[in-house]
Amino acid sequence: MDHGPRTGNKVALTFDADMTDGMLASLRAGRVKSYANLRILDLLEREEVPATFFLTGKWVQRYPDVTRRIADNPRFELANHTYEHAAFTGDCYDLPSLPVDELAGDVAKTFEVIKPYGGRQTRYFRFPGLCHDAATLDALAPLGVTVVDGDVVSGDPFATAWKPLVRAVLDHVRPGSVVIMHVTEANAAMTDEALPHILAGLRERGLVPALLSEVLAAA
């Protein structure tokens, strides 16, 4: 799914929590400080904004306290973004790729990692890089997940200024939209600066952030 019904006024803010072995190595070597942007959580909590987090298993294992903080908030939803942010298609940006026959196991394992945290668990799944094809979708069928891409790409990975993100979101957002952002700080350093402006712009447009499950279900 890319978005919910175009009626009503709800939009879903979604945040991906990527984590690869390369990112873990950068943390260990001290090349980066953090892949968990707590300023985003602070803002969402302070403003009581609902949001949905697509978590990789390795991110959850690296940031158990932050995961607990997400799970403990009734306005936040937890979803699945693979175990180690690998791609299961041949060509997906420069992500490492895994064979498609490992996909179902990878995604099931990620649910097992997320499950003990409780909170608002979902069966939503997002492919790294949004890369999928017929074979990957077939492979996921037994798991009963809903594959969610999104219709508004903020472009926050490796952004060097916040204004383009605000423009990218506000120029494209409509009722039912699913907005893709990242909570990965070092790899998405402008997201927390853009977010207050995005929230203000949504308000001006009469759009209200809601959980992804509400946005997709709203008829």
Q: Which of 10, 12, 14, 18 binds Zn ion (CB under 5 A)?
A: 18
Our CB check for Zn ion shows the closer of 17 and 207 to be 17
Q: Do the beta carbons of residue 82 and residue 107 sit within 8 Å?
A: yes
- Give the shortest CB-204-to-Zn ion separation in angstroms: 29
Does 185 interact with Zn ion (rule: CB under 5 A)? Answer: no
Residue type at position 88? F
Q: Which of 16, 106, 185, 192 binds Zn ion (CB under 5 A)?
A: 16
> What are φ and ψ of residue 13, in 5° steps?
-95, 120
Q: Is 128 in the site for Zn ion (CB under 5 A)?
A: yes
Q: Contact between 192 and Zn ion (CB under 5 A)?
A: no
CA 37 to chain centre: 13
The distance of closest approach from Cβ of residue 81 to Zn ion in the complex, given in angstroms and rounded to an integer, is 6
Residue 108 CB, shortest distance to Zn ion, in Å, is 18
DSSP string for 9-39: SEEEEEEEE---HHHHHHHHTTS-S-S--HH
Q: For residue 78, how far is the Cα from the chain centroid? A: 9
* Choice between 48 and 94, CB closer to Zn ion: 94
What is the Cα–Cα distance from 142 to 132, expressed in whole angstroms? 16
Q: Which residues bind Zn ion (CB under 5 A)?
A: 16, 18, 128
